[in-house]
Amino acid sequence: MTEQATAAARSAPDFTDLVRLEHVQKYFGAVHALRDINLRIGPNEIVGLIGDNGAGKSTLIKTMTGVLKPSSGRIFVRDKELPLSDYSVRMAHDLSIETVYQDKSLGEKQPLWRNFFVGRQIVNRWGFIDVKREKEIANDILLNTIGFRGVGIGVDSTIANLSGGERQGIAIGRAMHYDADLIILDEPTAALGVAEVRKVVDFVRRIKSSGRSCVYIEHNLAHVHEVADRLIVLDRGAIVSDISPRDMSVVELTEYLIDLQHKN
């Protein structure tokens, strides 16, 4: 399926919000990590999530993707409320939500093809993996979804031998392969070189043009400003503003964030 066709198929969703969080609270012991979070992610929307270290960005997305359970509140996916006690990473995968973590998404010593399928292997009824088919599909993702051509990377390459940008490409390509409606990127450009960052930003654009949604956590305001439809600012566990990048330049945004730090 081409990206255009996929986008067309996604053009008429029968829901208003892909993901909606209502009054979500999260405590770690006495620490109030998320304070009354109300957030909605629309279809085909790129939402930038920004905030200082420790503002709760990672906690928020982990809560959204079933890694952490919220202390209270409600989570809706495609307008349907989730049973929070059963919510897990697997369930998020089934709901077509994929997460690409900073550096914890890929098994370093494992070959590419295993990384594409781990957790969702193509197996026969006894649980044995169809290695040939997995490799074929992995090769297809490499060439067509990620666009690695002639760079000496194959399905048997070990992740440890890839550059940071290539790893992000693999992780994002995996998410796109699973036809995720929502791809969550947790600081994908941390520790990347300039050329590699361009590549990741291009991946985010691909997410948008293929009709999917994306939550993009980023330290570098210029990168996120460039691709996001909407910017959510988190501060000390609470959402403090919801900004359209059209209304605020990168410089203004930077000043706003610095002011926010001084205010408190």
Kindly state whether residue 220 participates in binding another protein, applying the rule CB under 8 A. Answer: no
Phi then psi for residue 65, to 5 deg, are -110, 10
Q: What burial class does residue 28 get, using C-beta atoms within 10 Å of its C-beta: 0-12 exposed, 13-18 middle, 19+ buried? A: exposed
Residue 198 CB partners (closer than 8 Å, separation 6+)? none
How far is 162 from 164, CA to CA, in rounded Å? 7
Nearer to another protein, 80 or 104 (CB): 104
Kindly state whether residue 67 participates in binding another protein, applying the rule CB under 8 A. Answer: yes
Nearer to another protein, 50 or 68 (CB): 68
Nearer to another protein, 109 or 262 (CB): 109
CB of 9 to another protein, least distance (A): 25
| Residue whose pair of structure tokens reads 């409600």 in the numeric block | 74
211's tokens: 């009709």
Kindly state whether residue 209 participates in binding another protein, applying the rule CB under 8 A. Answer: no
By rule CB under 8 A, what string of x and - marks binding of each residue 90-129 to another protein? x--x-----x-x--xxxxxxx---x---xxxx-x--xxxx
Contact indicator for 41, 65 with CB cutoff of 8 Å: no
User: Residue 161 carries which DSSP code?
Assistant: G
CB of 69 to another protein, least distance (A): 11
Which residues between 132 and 191 bind another protein (CB under 8 A)? 151-154, 157, 160-163, 165-166
Residue ranges in 210-264 assigned as alpha helix (H): 221-227, 250-263
Contact indicator for 108, 167 with CB cutoff of 8 Å: no
Contact indicator for 231, 254 with CB cutoff of 8 Å: no
How far is 211 from 205, CA to CA, in rounded Å? 10
Task: Count residues near another protein (CB under 8 A).
Answer: 40
CB of 200 to another protein, least distance (A): 12
Which residues between 44 and 63 bind another protein (CB under 8 A)? none
CB of 161 to another protein, least distance (A): 6
First to last CA, the chain: 50
CB of 90 to another protein, least distance (A): 5
Nearer to another protein, 44 or 99 (CB): 99
Nearer to another protein, 139 or 163 (CB): 163
How far is 143 from 169, CA to CA, in rounded Å? 12
Contact range with another protein by CB under 8 A, out of 7-15, 194-202, 211-219, 232-240:
194-202
Rounded to whole angstroms, what are the CA distances from 3 to 118, 169, 210? 25, 17, 5
For another protein, the binding residues (CB under 8 A) are 67-68, 88-90, 93, 99, 101, 104-110, 114, 118-121, 123, 126-129, 131, 151-154, 157, 160-163, 165-166, 195-196, 199
